[in-house]
Structures are given as C-alpha cells and as structure tokens.
Chains A and B, each alone.
Chain A
Amino acid sequence: MEARRQPARIHRFRPALITQTDDALPEYMNLIGMICSMCALMLKIKWCAWIALFAAIVGFANARATEDTKQVLSSLMLSISAVVITYMQNPTPMTIPFFQ
C-alpha cells in the first residue's frame, strides 16, 4: 500500500475542479430580499419587510463559504432596517391583504 504513495505526483487543489451544481438559491434569495426591502421602505408594506428578512436569512443559511460575507451581511442589515423603519413609521399591527 505504501508503494502507492508518489510524492512526485502531487498536484495542488484548484477550486474550478469542484463539481458544479445548478444551485442558485442564494442569488435568488438575495434578489428577493433586496426587492422586498425596497418595497417595504418605499411603499410602507409591512409583510414585504418580513419576507425580506426571511429571504436574507435563507440566503445566509445557504451561502457558500467562498461567497463574500459583506454581501450577505448587507442584505441582512437592509432587511432588518426595512422592518424597523416600517414599524416606526406605522406602529399598528400588520395586516395581510390576502386574508382580510
């Protein structure tokens, strides 16, 4: 077994060799998060702000290690600020338009 080891045949790792998969969930969640945050801030829609928060958290959970953490963090901060500002502007409880 030891005869199998060959120091001469050592090659360094290249990230391009990882099998590519079609997983674009973090990007979608990022996009949804940003759109919903903007909607919530400008149109003062509370449920949009909550959806933005969820999208940011799902994006954070599914993010790859190679991805920029600043991007994920900024998305999270934006959604939290959307929730806080929407409630400061209008402290009344949220109403979901589809159910009322």
Chain B
Amino acid sequence: MRSSMTILFILFNLLSYFTWSVAKKIKDEDFSEFDDFDEDEFVVEPPYSPGANQLSSKTQSNKPEVAKVDDSFQSLSSKSADIKVNDEVTIDDEDDDLMFDEEEFETSDGYSSSSPATSTIPDLKITEIPANLTSNHWEAYHCEAIMLLLLLGYLINFLLGRSKNARLADIVYRSQRDLLERNFCLVGDNGQTRTTQSADDSTVNDSTTNKMQKESESLYILWCSGRTAIESMLMEVRLAKRQCLFNSLAAMIKSSNDMLIYTADYSKEDMETFVFCLAKKHCAAKLHRDMNDLSQFCSERKTSDKRGLNNGNYQILSEIGEVSSAIIDNRVVDFIEKYPDVLEYIHISDQYTGMKIQNDTQQSSPNTTPNAGSTAQQQDASNTSERSVRHVLIIAFNLVARNSRSLEITTETVGSDYLRFVLQLIDRVNSFRFTLKESKNKAIKNRQRIEEQFLKNVYQQRQEQAQQRREEKRRAEKEKIMQSDDPERQRKWEEKEHKREMKRRQPKMKQMKVKAM
C-alpha cells in the first residue's frame, strides 16, 4: 500500500508541476505596461467586430502610449515606421486623440498618404508573452528548485531507508525462525484472524513466508505463544528511522541504535515476586526514572562487582538482594563477555505497569467492570482497586556491526545466539524461587505498601470525583431555581443551602449513648 501511495504522490507531484507551468502562462495584465516589446511581434489586426475593434484599438493605443512614455523604448520610435495602423479601426478612447494628433506622431503623414495606395496592409498581431519570460526568467525560481530537489532527495532517502529496514527485519526473522518454530506452537499472529495460523489446516504453512508484522517503517513485531514457562513472547525489532531524512540527520548528532527487544509474559504462578534490572549506565538512570515499578521498588543503583561487569558499564537495580546473584549467573556473564555492548538491559518484574507518563492511560485498561454504562460508572470503573500488573521479562539487545562486517551479516550470524540466551533466561526466571525466608517477607511487605498507597490514591480520586459531581448537581439546581422566577422557592432553597453550610462548618461531634442502668 505504501508503494501505491508513493506512486500516487509522484503523480500528483507531476500534476502540480504542470499546473504550475500553466499558471505561468496566464497573462498578468497589471504588469503588461512593463513588458518588453519587440518589433516583430506587432502586426495590425483586421477589424472583426466593433467590440473587438474597441479592444484591439485600446491595446494598440496603449502600446504606442507606453512607447512614448518610456525612454527605454526609444528604439520603438525609430521602428514606428514599420507600425501600420489600419484606417478602418474605430477609436473611442479619449486618449487616442493625443495619439493620433498628426503633429506629434511623425510618421502618421507618411501612413495617411500611403494608406490609399496600400490596401493590403498587414495586420498587427500582438502575441501573448508568458509572464515569466518577460519579467522573470527561470533562474528567478531558484528557491522552488531547491525545494523540489530537497523533496526528491527526501523521497529517495525514504525508499532506500525503507528497503534497508525491511531487509534487516527479514534477516532477523530468518536467523531465528527455526529456533522459534521449535520452541513455540504459535509463531506470528496479528490477533485479528479468526483462527491462528497453526490451527488453520487449509493454508500451507510455508516456512519461507515472513510472519513478522510491520507496525511502521521502523518497527516490526513477532508474536510467539504456546510454550512451557511463559504465556507469550513478543519480539520487537525497533530499527533506526532510516526512512526519514531528518531523523537520519538527527541520528548523526545523537546516535540511535537498532534494537531487538524481547518481552516475555509470565502467569502469576510461573514467576517469583521480585523486581530486578541490569542495564547499561545511561539506560539504568533513564529506566529508574521512567519505569513505575523500578522507581517504586528499587531504591538505588549499584555497580556490579562480578567478573565481566566490573568495568562499570552495567548497573543493577534490585529489590531483593539474593536475586542479583541468582539471575546474573555464569551464562549471563559469558554472554556479555562474548558480545560486549550488545546487551542493553534486562528488566524482570512481577509488578510491571509501564512508564510513569502512561500510567494514566494504563489505569483505564481492561480491568473494568462488565456493566460500565454511563460515563460516571466508567470513570469509577477505571479506578478499580486492582492494579493491572504484568509479570514480565524484558531483554533488549543492540544490533551493532562487529568485526568490521556489515550490519546485515553480523545480524545473520548472531541472531540465534541472542534468542538462545533469551530462552535460557526465561527458563532460569521460571525455575528461580527464594531460598531465604526474609526475601519473601520483604517482597510481601513492599507489595503491601505499594498496594496501600495505590488504594489511598484511588479512594482520594473517588472522593474528589464524588465532590465534583455534588457541586455540579448543586450548581444545576441553583440554575434551575434562579430561572424559575419564584421568590418563595428561591428563599426556601437559600435557607436550605444556608443550613447545609452551617452543618458542614460545625465540627463533627461524636455521640455517646449511655445505657440506662
């Protein structure tokens, strides 16, 4: 569809160019007096009709008038001998009297004397000169030329960038396809077809077709499901925006990598309750600031002292102490040593709620009551006492060229290594359980604390909403009463309001009932 749109766009571009060139040919009558006249272009026209005569005489009269006025057209006066005026042309314009005053117009005698002799006088034909060739030449349109060149450059960059991104995504898919097919029952799903591809027997399951979904020119996703230990895994190939020239130029200043992000979703029973993150330094700061769960559960960032990680590149954010040593085992360290700078971050959490800014939108996610009819109900439903948390393992890799090979070749060779690492970590997280009792207690305590905070917020919000609704109702009532024009009703209502205010202002007294002996 994108290719058809680009073809459409190119066609419209051509159309606009032609329209523009046509517009140039429209005679600009306002500037006709400044037009450059050439002797060859003046030929006398025979009178077609009175109307036409008037027009032709006017234009003819205008041109000699200008010739007289403008000194730069001195050549015209010398060439005026060549101008032949048709005697039969009727002159209605008052200015023409000046023009055809025989004393001023030198050559008129010659013409009047010769006119009877010359019955076949060639007519004056005034050719229409395109406006751009008279006053403006093509060089004057240099700004437009630059714009069109920029546009063309952008389009070419778009096509090249798009094809490169598509090629990269395809390479990633092909390098991991076999391993994915062996681990997952369902590889590739858009969530919209009635049956999944694996259940559909009618279509031939062609292993060469690319089952990745294109979300944009720089984002390709692949959904995998049907495996032990996890519910699903989403693979996102987030590439640099090569299709946009401005993004590519911005990337020269602030470098952006191609990334491969795996998000594995666990069910509640599949995962222990902890929040952990291993990330590169700059990334760790950003995640700690932006991610809800990391900011709530992990208090500080620590530099790891394990072998391979002790050069200070990576930082750890961990809620429970024993998790770091359990998760960052030899396999992780070996991977990091083998592929330095590839692992961007590992984020494991049973309280994942996304980024802080999007928390408002996530609260109205599918945790609503089934009968949310009116807006008020819907608003209430969005503040349910259940937070929509996910149990996730997120691993992000940088796709970088290694050993002076191209990015494509590197990706092809290491694609399956990355996936193998991800699957090993998935199984490791699935099998890990706390060994120390205090870890479990700490986790429970933390979660209770956050849950209480959340409930308090929800309660506060509900109070505010109820208060707002009450205010609105009162305002509506007041409006109605004021508009009713009944002083009696108004007075009664005001009394009622006054009583209500007094009751609210009074401190609430607790009543104690004494039982009679």
Contacts and interface: CB of A to CB of B under 8 A. Distances in A.
B236 A91 contact: no
A94 interface: yes
Contact of B244 (A12, A22, A58): A58
B215 interface: yes
B512 to A, nearest CB: 54
Contacts of A93: 136, 140-144
B144 A22 contact: no
A22 B290 CA distance: 12
A76 B9 contact: yes
A63 B236 CA distance: 17
A2 interface: yes
B405 interface: no
Interface string B366-377: 100000000000
B227 A5 contact: yes
Contacts of B196: 10, 12
Contacts, number: 143
Given A19-B263, A22-B357, A91-B132, A2 B217 contact: no
B234 A17 contact: yes
A71 interface: no
Interface in A1-17: 1-17
A35 interface: no
Most buried by A among B132, B232, B354: B232
Contacts of B215: 18, 64-66
Given A14-B191, A17-B263, A63 B216 contact: yes
Contact of B216 (A4, A8, A13, A64): A64
A84 B186 contact: no
Interface string B476-517: 000000000000000000000000000000000000000000
A65 B124 CA distance: 63
Contacts of B136: 92-93
A57 B154 contact: yes
B236 A13 contact: no
Interface stretch (B12-20, B56-64, B309-317, B338-346): B12-20
Contacts of B19: 84, 87-88
B260 to A, nearest CB: 12
Contacts of B147: 50
A5 B226 contact: yes
Nearest to A81: B16
B223 interface: yes
B143 A94 contact: yes
A88 B244 contact: no
A74 interface: no
Contacts of B219: 64
Contacts of A58: 154, 244, 246
A69 B234 contact: no
Given A6-B227, A54-B151, A69-B1, A13 B190 contact: yes
A93 B132 CA distance: 9
Interface in A42-100: 47, 50, 53-54, 57-58, 60-66, 69, 73, 76-77, 80, 83-84, 87-88, 91-96
Interface string B212-232: 001111010101011111111
A4 B186 contact: no
Nearest to B232: A11
Interface stretch (B37-45, B67-75, B79-87, B177-185): B177-185
Contacts of A64: 215-216, 219
Contact of A62 (B20, B223, B236, B244): B244
A88 to B, nearest CB: 5
Interface in B223-280: 223, 225-232, 234, 236, 241, 243-244, 246-247, 261, 263, 265
Interface of A: 1-20, 22, 47, 50, 53-54, 57-58, 60-66, 69, 73, 76-77, 80, 83-84, 87-88, 91-96
16 contacts: A4-B229, A5-B226, A6-B226, A8-B226, A10-B226, A12-B189, A13-B190, A53-B151, A54-B151, A62-B244, A84-B19, A91-B132, A92-B140, A93-B143, A93-B144, A94-B141
CB-based closest 6 A-B pairs: A13-B191, A13-B223, A10-B226, A93-B140, A13-B189, A64-B216
